[in-house]
Amino acid sequence: MVQTAATLATVEGTLARLLTALFVGGAALTVIAALGGYALAARALQPIDQMTRTARRISAEDLSARLDLPATDDEVGRLAVTFDEMLGRLDESFRRERQFTANASHELRTPLAAMQVILGVVRAQPRTTPEYEAAIDDLADEAERLQTLVDRLLYLARRDAQRSDLRKPVDLTFLLADIVDSLEPLAAQKGIALTLRTPARLMIQGDSDSLARLFVNLLDNAIKYTQQGGVSVSAAAHTDGATVTVSDSGVGIAAEHLPHLFDRFYRVDAARTTRGAGLGLAIAHDIAQAHGGDIAVSSQIGQGATFTVHLLS
C-alpha cells in the first residue's frame, strides 16, 4: 500500500480568490449594467421628455411650438416627426379659423354700421313721411344684405362640419332651367340677355340644393359684373360626368387675381363699388370639390369671364 499526500493550499487559495473576484466583479458589473441601462434609457426617452415639455407649452393661442428633433429613423424619431406634422396642421387650421372669424366680423360690421347711420340721421330731427319711407327702404336693403351674409357664413361653417348626401341623381338640365328662370328678372332689369343651352336630359350624381347654390353664385356674379351684353350658360355630357360653363361679356378679371378668386372673402374690387363679401366663389368651389368635381376660370380684363364646372356622374 502506497499513500501520497499533497497540500491543497494553492488550490484553495485560487478558489478563494476566484470567489472574491466573482463577488466583487459581479457586484461591479451589476452596478455598471444598472447605470448603463439607466443612461441608455434616459437618452432614448429624452425626446419623449421634450415632447411632454412642448405639449405642456402648447395652447390654442400659440401653436407655433415644434420639437424640431434631429431626424432619426427609429420609433421615437418617427413619433417626433408625426407630432410636428400634426402641430403644423393644427396651427394652419386654427389660423384659418381665426382669419375666417375676423373677416366674418368685419363683413357683418359694415351693414350694421350703415343701419346705425340711417337710424341716427332719421332720429336727429322730425322727418316727413316720404323721408321715413326712404329710411325704412334703406334699412330693409341693409337687413337683406345681412341676411345673405349670415346665410353664407352659416353655410360655410356647417359645410365644414357635416357633409350632406352627395349621391342622389340630379338632372342638370332641369336644375339649370329652374335657376335661369328665377334669375331672368334680375338680368332683364340690367338689360342683359340670359341664354341657356343644354341637352334634353343630363343626369349626374349630387345634391341638388348644393348644386343650385353653386350655379346661382356663378350666375349672380356673371350678372353683377356685366354691364351690357349677355350671359350664357351651357351644359354638356362629358366622358365621366358633365361640364357646365357660365360665360359673360362683363368687366373680366385681371390675371393676378385669378389664383385667389376662390379664396374666402377675396374680392377684386377693393373700392367695393359693387356689393358682396367675396364668399360666393369660395362656396361654389367648396361644393364642386365636395362632389369630386372642379371649377376653373378663364378671363381677361374687359373681355368677360368664363367659369367651367366639371361634375362627376
Q: Which residues contact ligand ATP (rule: CB under 6 A)?
A: 217, 221-222, 225, 248, 250-253, 261, 266-269, 276-282, 305
- Using the minimum distance from each CB to ligand ATP, give the nearer residue, 77 or 252: 252
Answer yes or no whether residue 221 interacts with Mg ion by CB under 5 A. yes
- Using the minimum distance from each CB to ligand ATP, give the nearer residue, 183 or 281: 281
Cell of 9: 493550499
- Using the minimum distance from each CB to ligand ATP, give the nearer residue, 41 or 254: 254
Answer yes or no whether residue 280 interacts with Mg ion by CB under 5 A. yes
**From the list ligand ATP, Mg ion, none, partner contacted by residue 293 (C-beta under 5 to 8 A by kind):** none
Q: With CB under 5 A, what is the number of residues at the site for Mg ion?
A: 2
Complete DSSP assignment for 136-186: HHHHHHHHHHHHHHHHHHHHHHHHHH------EEEEHHHHHHHHHHHHHHH
Closest contact distance (angstroms) between CB of 60 and ligand ATP is: 29
End-to-end C-alpha distance for the chain, whole angstroms: 113
The one-letter amino acid code at 129 reads T
- Using the minimum distance from each CB to ligand ATP, give the nearer residue, 91 or 184: 184
Overall size of the chain counted in residues? 313
User: Measured between alpha carbons, how far is 161 from 155 in angstroms, rounded to an integer?
Assistant: 10
- Using the minimum distance from each CB to Mg ion, give the nearer residue, 221 or 249: 221
Closest residue to Mg ion: CB criterion: 280
User: Measured between alpha carbons, how far is 246 from 249 in angstroms, rounded to an integer?
Assistant: 11
Closest contact distance (angstroms) between CB of 164 and ligand ATP is: 21
User: To which residue does cell 412642448 refer?
Assistant: 54
Answer yes or no whether residue 250 interacts with Mg ion by CB under 5 A. no
**Cβ atoms within 10 Å, residue 18:** 10
Q: What are phi and psi of 68, to 5 degrees?
A: 50, 45
The one-letter amino acid code at 169 reads P
User: To which residue does cell 434631429 refer?
Assistant: 70
**From the list Mg ion, ligand ATP, none, partner contacted by residue 248 (C-beta under 5 to 8 A by kind):** ligand ATP
Interacting residues toward Mg ion by CB under 5 A: 221, 280
